[in-house]
Structure 1
């Protein structure tokens, strides 16, 4: 899916790193209106999912990666257009799911308060198996969590979700340019991102957004290359791993191929 940009196609204390986790600067972004996004989904063969079931009723099972992707496409279109349905978020759903879960997608997202997957994909309880950490970094612990969901629930889709103006990326760029290091355990995040971010700093365009996209691609590659469980299911056609970027300004998600 290289080159696809349509959805379904996220220092240092010098002296305050905390304030740099959310830079106000705006980056270049790909805008896709609901009609265009729907066309992109059709072109990719994923379709658009049927309307979600009413609260308290089980969701229709997802049996293919493309169907799962289509459901997320449709949900993000609703959210970005201001027509979210907020499905499966009632007490009846809570009680129904108490005995077990069957998430149709696994997300690897950034621990940013503005990027909650259930909200931006207009999903509810039991739909998404979320894994979130600053910089959406797939370390061994997070990889184990993803593998657990793949084997236990047979979820057919993994989405690595980065976002524009990522603070972890900005902090890493600052550390590289300043020759410094981040304080305490924040340095672990910066050190994990450094080898991904450094090579793209000389490329034209916005350095933060370039690095966000590079990191999304790197984490997708890591999932496929480091996990035989994931790679085997992808070879079987039972699982798809995609990278995506969330736009903080308009609420839209686009694929990063």
Structure 2
């Protein structure tokens, strides 16, 4: 199969791969001995995936891709720091990837810990706290339960799913606002940045946020 070159082609390839994974009809492309040998000289991944370190959300598996296809960056709770942004910029600016995915998932422990910290004031100990500290800004602006919402109605407490989606959206916006290189690539049409949510039970990814043209995927 020809390597995807445009953001739309890259997104289409990943949508098709995820559909194969959901159906249990994986093709396991780009994993043969010959391809492995070809990649020893250089790599040219078509997409960067920035996701959570959760052991149940391995990008190459859930998108049914192989060696050399995806440039993967992972942190617990897909929290952003300068090395993460530098790694993503490397995938786009040096390796030529035309798509960046921020891949969140349901039942995320980092999001749950951030929500608990906001609700109870209890913070984890050690360096795990640094993860929670970086998730909190994503969800702290969501309305508090009981806040008036017009017509005398009160807003309900955000669900865990809503908190996770907000964290994905916020992460996408952080990448665009912090990285001139990424925002320029998107503005020029050379790259798109998408926020996705992965469902642990059915294995399907769903689009949450998009910057750039990826067609009808």
Global fold match (TM > 0.5): yes
Q: Provide the aligned C-alpha RMSD in A.
A: 1.3
| Cα distance, 1:206 vs structure 2 | 5.3
Cα deviation, 1:76-122, whole Å, max 9, x if unaligned, reads 00000110111111222221111110000000100000000000000
Deviations 1:12-50 (A, max 9, x none): xxxxxxxxxxxxxxxxxxxxxxxxxxxxxxxxxxxxxxx
Partner deviation per Cα, 1:133-186 (whole Å, 9 max, x = no partner): 011112111001001111111110000000001011111111221212111000
Aligned residues of 2:80 and 2:134 also touching (Cα < 8 A): no
User: Aligned to 2:197, which of 245, 253, 256?
Assistant: 245
* Number of the residue aligned with 2:151: none
Alignment match, 1:193: 135
SS at match of 1:99: coil
- How is 1:1-257 mapped onto 2 (pairs within 5 angstroms)? 53=1, 60-200=2-142, 202=145, 204=156, 207-257=159-209
**Structure 2: gaps spanning 5 or more residues:** 146-154, 210-217
Q: What SS does structure 2 have at the residue aligned with 1:243?
A: strand
**Count of paired positions:** 199
1:187-226 deviation per Cα after TM superposition (whole angstroms, max 9, x unaligned):
0000111121223363536521111100100111011111
Identify the structure with bigger relative contact order (alpha carbons < 8 Å, sequence gap 6+).
1
TM-score normalised to structure 1 length: 0.75
